[in-house]
Structure 1
Amino acid sequence: MSKIYNVLWIDDEHDHPEMEPFIIQAETMDITLNGYSNFREGFIALNSNLNHYDVILLDALFLEDEKSETVSKKGLGASIAKINELKNKKSFPYFVLSGQPTFTDKENDIIEANNLRCFNKKNPEDVKELLVNIKKEADTQIDLQIKHENQLLFEVLNGYPDSTRDTFISIFKGLKGINNQFDDQLYFTQLRIILETLFRRANAFGLLHDKCVEVNGGNVNLTESYLFLSGLDTNHFKVNCSVTHFPKLIANNVKNIVHTTGAASHTSVVDITQNIHIQAYRKDVNTPYLLYSLALQLMDVLIWFDGYSKENNDIATNQSYWQDIEYDGDGNKFEIAEIIKIAANGWASVFVNNGIKSISVFKGDVATHNLKVSDRVKFTVKDSSVAQNITKL
């Protein structure tokens, strides 16, 4: 997997056919150029997604905004000022590339004042040196180091909101000792929101029932979603899935995240200060390690889901596994299972709860319904381990 370098590139000719060889040359060095024609649009993109970009590349003369009709050096000056202003949030290496002789062949006040060099886009050796320097300078940035050290995760995160990537970069910085002061309320909420996004994606693939996700923009019920994807009965929605999507360890991770962060139901209504277990824990162990452990578990869940959803992306097939849970008049749940064996004494056996619990079928019912191994039956279980209200399917 190649280490990708994302560059914000502001050049009014970024999409001109003459620039195509430069773009291709950059791509061969794993540098992705994200082009904008003017200062305003370029820095709107940067501000909205700071942790996506690693380096800034500026033309010497370009437009101030999309309404400008002529290029000028005002855009360069404004860009450098903005880059300096952003240093308290993120420090960006930046370079100037131009074909203008007034910048490449002569002294220039803006270039000199900022101790810069203007690379000549018409000089192949200059262009090659520029690309090498872009990677060299980018590699010194902690955010990019984190992304390169955890490439698989950040590849997966391309399909998630930008805030997801920001959250995990902050977590990794904490693990590196750069910042290990975290607020439970803020970061536990962020983990729940990321998990909510995963569940919405699961619903889009047909893996998660619509009842667990209020499709028209409402809340995701995290507990019900966890139960459904784990092959368990939902507590309130009276649905389950005949296929268990979550492997055991993934299910355990999700359960731990949901219950530890206090997200018993919806993501937006949880006040971590009201979670007595967390508050009791914090009295004795006031460290960020609980947050780190939950975040690391969630990373594994996201990576697992990315592969699983790609392999199981047939929506109709996935939805065919959805089941409504039926109950008899006394509130006993109807189960559906296959006859596993019929003993010599005439009694039969079935398994429920994902094969965990064995249920016996009375020999009289076996004879009455002419049951055989592999026959599917519908039944209830009341106070014992004996099937009742049997129907052969």
Structure 2
Amino acid sequence: MKNTYKVIWFDDEFKTLRRIREQAFLNDIELFGFTNAEEGIEELKNNIEYYDAAILDGIFFKNAKDSGHAYDDSPMGDVAMELVKLEDRKKLPWFILSGKTSFTKDKNRFAESFKEGQVYDKLGDNVYLSELWKNLKKESDSLEITQLKHKYPSIFSLCSDEYIGKKHFDRILQIVRDIENPSQILNTQDLLNPLRKVIEAMLTKLNSIGIIPDDIRNTPNWINPSSLFLSNKHNDYEHLEEIIHPVIGESFYRLLNLTQDASHDQGTKLGVDSYLAEKKSTFLYQSTIFLLLEIMDWLKPFIDNNSDKTKNLAKWRNKINPLESNENPGSLEGVVVKISENGYATFQPVGSIRTISIPPSMVSKHELNVDQKIKVQTEPSPSGTKTYIKAIIDKSKS
């Protein structure tokens, strides 16, 4: 995988500057354009760690609502000052790329103050752009974050809207830093929650392409049932073909057993939190990171090669609700096959090998009998691993 560079670009005409965008692409540089200082500065405040460099036109808009022709160089000065303020977080390399003669031929106050007068001519031939790309890469390559991104390209490539989102970049960056500098890891019992957030984002993405059923995703405490499904351990679902590699499915399951247990609101079956609090070593925490990185390394090519939701939905079936009505989701038709002495009845959905219990109160209220055909409304249990009968909505005469 080639080393790529993400660059924030301030230019009110960036959408029309096709030559520059094409040249950047050919040099493995991805440009993220902003027409104005207001929105671009907000992006820098929120996500400066995400970028490897910045490119500033000499003249662009100050505010998001501005339109027409930009004429003032003060927005560039505003961005330059903000980049200086943010240097305690990240000293982002930045460059001036302008076609204005007030920058390329004459001396400009901000170019002189911040960049010793160095300006790249965006209207000149490609030699100016080639020099810009070369110097941009050279300065970016000296940054610790850029070096980590290039060392773990498949991991950081997930931090886009096509995969799990830019908002997880900082979490993933810290996870990678922990592996790179294990001697600096402290308080491991507090470090598993960020891992869980990343796993949740991956599961959400898999749901969006039809790999994980909506019925699981839309229930409370859906994360554990999702791992059961991916590892082919969920009682209510059958894999009609291999959905993901068994090693990855099992990795999701084992990793979530640890991270969920460490979360205070998910129970303490294994006592992970107290175990980590007592241990001085960080081996368990590091092992969970490596397992997470293995899943993340697998995820991007899997999504790229399995993005057809219709095909993915055909890879599994719900054993409980195989004939669920599209007009009335959660409704099932079937037969009362048994009524026990304790008052509970057993409902057999049409086309299903599994059964669902009917509570005595419903049996009595509807005066149900064995072999009676009924239609029921179902709902998932709070954990999402079982199906309950919510109501009886129709029945045949016994």
Normalised TM-score (structure 2): 0.70
- For the structure 1 residues 293 and 109, does the alpha-carbon distance in structure 2 shift closer, same or farther, using more than 3 Å as the test? same
Partner in structure 1 of residue 122 of structure 2: 121
Partner in structure 2 of residue 161 of structure 1: 165
- List per-residue Cα deviations over 1:107-153 (Å, max 9, x = no partner): 33322222431222233333321121111111111222112222223
Query: For residues 239-318 of structure 1, what are the structure 2 equivalents within 5 Å?
Result: 239-243=236-240, 245-263=243-261, 269-270=265-266, 276-287=271-282, 289-309=283-303, 310-311=305-306, 313-315=308-310, 318=313
Q: Contact 2:196/2:260 (CA < 8 Å) preserved in 1?
A: no
Q: Distance in 2 between matches of 1:251 and 1:177?
A: 29
Q: Which amino acid aligns with 1:280?
A: Y
- List per-residue Cα deviations over 1:183-209 (Å, max 9, x = no partner): 546542222122222222333333323
Q: Which amino acid aligns with 1:191?
A: L
- For the structure 1 residues 104 and 280, does the alpha-carbon distance in structure 2 shift closer, same or farther, using more than 3 Å as the test? same
Q: Contact 2:230/2:252 (CA < 8 Å) preserved in 1?
A: no
Query: For residues 46-195 of structure 1, what are the structure 2 equivalents within 5 Å?
Result: 46-68=44-66, 70-116=70-116, 117-124=118-125, 125-158=127-160, 159-177=163-181, 180-182=184-186, 184=188, 187-195=191-199
Q: Contact 2:56/2:76 (CA < 8 Å) preserved in 1?
A: yes
Partner-residue secondary structure (3-state), 1:304: helix
Q: Alignment length, in residue pairs?
A: 321
Q: Contact 1:26/1:32 (CA < 8 Å) preserved in 2?
A: yes
Q: Which amino acid aligns with 2:129?
A: V
Q: Contact 1:209/1:322 (CA < 8 Å) preserved in 2?
A: no
Q: CA RMSD in A?
A: 3.3
Q: Which amino acid aligns with 2:114?
A: N
Among 318, 321, 334, the alignment partner of 2:316 is 321
Long gaps (5+) in structure 1:
335-393
Partner-residue secondary structure (3-state), 2:181: coil
Q: Contact 1:5/1:54 (CA < 8 Å) preserved in 2?
A: yes
Q: Distance in 1 between matches of 2:187 and 2:10?
A: 37
Q: Distance in 1 between matches of 2:186 and 2:318?
A: 42
Q: Does 1:14 align with 2:23?
A: no
Partner-residue secondary structure (3-state), 1:262: helix
Deviation at 1:220, TM superposition (A): 4.7
Partner-residue secondary structure (3-state), 1:322: strand
- List per-residue Cα deviations over 1:42-67 (Å, max 9, x = no partner): 22233343333211111122221133
- List per-residue Cα deviations over 1:78-131 (Å, max 9, x = no partner): 111110111222220011122223322333332222243122223333332112
Q: Distance in 1 between matches of 2:244 and 2:339?
A: 32
The percentage of aligned residue pairs carrying the same residue is 22
Deviation at 1:219, TM superposition (A): 4.1
Long gaps (5+) in structure 2:
322-336, 349-398
Q: Contact 1:10/1:38 (CA < 8 Å) preserved in 2?
A: yes
- For the structure 1 residues 102 and 317, does the alpha-carbon distance in structure 2 shift closer, same or farther, using more than 3 Å as the test? closer
Q: Which amino acid aligns with 2:130?
A: K
Q: Which amino acid aligns with 1:105?
A: K
Q: Distance in 2 between matches of 1:68 and 1:95?
A: 24
Q: Which amino acid aligns with 2:11?
A: D
Q: Distance in 1 between matches of 2:120 and 2:347?
A: 74
- For the structure 1 residues 34 and 105, does the alpha-carbon distance in structure 2 shift closer, same or farther, using more than 3 Å as the test? same
- List per-residue Cα deviations over 1:141-167 (Å, max 9, x = no partner): 122211222222333443112232321
Deviation at 1:329, TM superposition (A): 6.8
Deviation at 1:325, TM superposition (A): 4.8
Deviation at 1:33, TM superposition (A): 2.0
